[in-house]
């Protein structure tokens, strides 16, 4: 099986695709958020180091983030492949990952960019609604609540979260274009970049992804 990196702007749907890939091919879905939380919870050496930065409101340095990812990649369940979601986010992280994999005679096989234009992302995310009580999520167009503004699951109000407001989404997109977009060129140079049209329905995007993985 393959070692896969998912790329795409916030709201492009790469996390959803990464989960589906993991399920279909029985490989681990490695999300940096999840592995950070696991290391913190288990009080590992790497987790303690990361906590020192996080407690001060600082970003965890690239080399430490890469060490935490590599620690996960070396685990037995990754021997047949894995899908990375949310890492690397920057060129230094990508270079650190390439170097660390070189040391164990491995390399990434494919980087899949879920491409969605900015205006579609702003539209998509500003339509999201979340229940702050039970955590259920909806979308006013694609997954509306049965009663307007009321959570189907627990009956409390659903809201537009601050991080889904158009002005916040625009800020997140500008950070993405500045820091993460260059990764597309980085992996293109390594001849492992594949692009799928993320504006299609979710099932169509996944079909395009599986076609790439099964070539």
> Of the listed 2, 19, 49, 172, which one is catalytic?
172
89 is catalytic: yes
> Of the listed 19, 161, 165, 188, which one is catalytic?
161
Cα–Cα distance between 135 and 153 in angstroms, integer? 10
> Of the listed 3, 72, 128, 129, which one is catalytic?
128
72 is catalytic: no
Buried b (16+ CB within 10 A) or exposed e, 49-60: bbeeeeeeeeeb
> Of the listed 72, 89, 124, 129, which one is catalytic?
89
> What sign for the dihedral angle of Cα 115, 202, 205, 183?
positive
19 is catalytic: no
37 is catalytic: no
> Of the listed 3, 14, 72, 129, which one is catalytic?
14
First to last CA, the chain: 12
172 is catalytic: yes
The SS3 assignment for 44 reads coil
Task: Tell me which residues are annotated as active site.
Answer: 14, 89, 128, 161, 172
């Amino acid at each position: 099986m393959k070692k896969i990196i998912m790329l795409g702007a916030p709201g492009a749907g790469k996390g959803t695709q990464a989960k589906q890939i993991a399920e279909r091919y029985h490989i681990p879905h490695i999300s940096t958020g999840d592995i950070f939380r696991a290391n913190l919870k288990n009080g590992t050496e790497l987790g303690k180091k990361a906590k020192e930065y996080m407690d001060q409101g600082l970003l965890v340095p690239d080399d430490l983030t890469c060490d935490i990812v590599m620690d996960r990649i070396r685990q037995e369940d990754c021997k047949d492949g894995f899908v990375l979601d949310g890492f690397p986010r920057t060129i230094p992280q990508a270079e650190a990952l390439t170097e660390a994999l070189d040391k164990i005679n491995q390399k990434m096989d494919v980087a899949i960019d879920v491409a969605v234009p900015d205006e579609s992302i702003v539209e998509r995310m500003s339509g999201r609604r979340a229940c702050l009580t039970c955590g259920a999520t909806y979308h006013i167009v694609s997954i509306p609540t049965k009663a307007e503004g009321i959570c189907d699951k627990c009956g409390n109000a659903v809201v537009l979260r601050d991080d889904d407001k158009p002005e916040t989404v625009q800020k997140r997109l500008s950070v993405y274009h500045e820091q993460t977009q260059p990764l597309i060129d980085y992996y293109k140079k390594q001849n492992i970049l594949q692009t799928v049209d993320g504006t299609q329905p979710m099932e169509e995007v996944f079909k395009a992804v599986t076609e790439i993985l099964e070539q």
